[in-house]
Structure formats: C-alpha cells, structure tokens
Amino acid sequence: MTSLPRTFRHCTASALLLALAMTSAQTVMAQSVPAALQPADAHHVVATLSATGVQIYVCKRDGDKPLAWAFKAPLAELYDASGKLVVKHGAGPSWEASDGSKITGKVLQQVSNTSEAGAIPLLLLQATKVGGVGLLSSVRYVQRLQTHGGIAPAQPCTEEGQEGRSPYLAQYVFLD
C-alpha cells in the first residue's frame, strides 16, 4: 500500500483543523470573554476569524539551565465564517489581510485557558503599528480566544536552534 503524498496529508490535516475551527467559532460566541481581555475603550468588533496554524518553538539554553523549548513565533491562517482565507498571522506578532491592510501588536494581558488543558493562553493585544487601507486599518485591539493546542512540543529538544511546531486553533477578534 502506498502512502499518501505529503502535500495531500498536509491539505487534509489543514481541512480538518479548519472544520474544527469553524465549529468552535459558534462556541466562542456563546462563552464570555474574561474581563482582563476586554479593553474599556474598544468600540466594536471589526472581525471575528477562526485560525488554524502552528506555534513555532526553538530549542534554547537559558544560562546554566538545560536546553528547553522557547516560543519563537506563530504561523496561522485566519478564516471568516464562510471559510474564506482573510488574514495571515505571523511573527511580530503581525496580521496581514488579503486586502493589504496589516497590523503588528504587543501583548497587554494573558489569561490561562482553564477550559482546555494543554492549550496556549488567551490574549489581549494592542495594535502598535497599522499599515494599508482595508479590514485591519481601524483595529486597535486583538483578542485571541478559544485556544486549542499550541503548547511547546512534548518531545525534548536536544540541539540548540532546533525548531518544533505545535498545531493550534483559536478565534481572533479584531476590535476598534
């Protein structure tokens, strides 16, 4: 029996993650956002998007401590309710919409995801730089909610500089 080509396996895995992300979008709307992640001066929701991607970790040594995984960057695609790719998320952290608008941000608040063990924290980020005209041009805050997965790899890192990728799902809410 021949194995499936790697690209096909990747596409199939991405499709399954997207389907789960789209299903969890409805759950997010039903759950309340922790008070620590609600900016007082946000006026309205610009977009709520489902993300599927990876959290990238790098193997590092912290002083005399043994090698350990350290967060490096996210890499994700964000989809609207119809399944259309709308925004790409990367290092910085940064978000770039398909219309060319983009933002970078900084973390203001972090809250543990108490509803799912092994999930990365929920976040409130503030936009620090805005570029282009379009969907993201008025965004001042970003909430990362309903996280699934994404924590550092379970396998030990054995070589400094080694990278590990952990799949994750989340909801991103863009606020102005």
Asked if the structure places residue 145 within a domain, the reply is yes
* Token pair recorded at residue 63: 């002083």
pLDDT in tens, 158-171: 999 999 999 999 99
Does 156 reside within a domain? yes
Residues 114 and 147: beta-carbon distance below 8 Å: no
The answer on pLDDT for 3 being more than 90 is: no
Kindly report the pTM of this predicted structure.
0.83
Does 77 score more than 60 pLDDT? yes
CA distances from 143 to 31, 45, 69, 128, 136 (A): 14, 10, 25, 14, 14
Residue 148 and residue 110 in contact, taking contact as beta carbons nearer than 8 Å: no
* Residues 9-62: tens digit of each pLDDT: 344 344 444 444 444 443 344 458 999 999 999 989 999 999 999 999 999 998
Q: Which helix (H) or strand (E) holds 87?
A: strand 85-90
Asked if the structure places residue 1 within a domain, the reply is no
Which is more confident, 146 or 26? Answer: 146
Q: What is the pLDDT of residues 52-70, one digit of tens each?
A: 999 999 999 988 999 999 9
In a domain, 147, yes or no: yes
d(CA 171, CA 8): 25
> Structurally, how many domains does the chain consist of?
1
Asked whether residue 86 is assigned to any structural domain, the reply reads yes
Could you list the residue range(s) of the whole structural domain that residue 80 is in? 6-175
Is residue 40 in a domain?
yes
| Residue 136 included in any domain | yes
Q: Report the pLDDT value the prediction gives residue 67, as an integer from 0 to 100.
A: 96
Encode 112-122: b = buried (16+ Cβ within 10 Å), e = exposed: ebeeeeebbeb
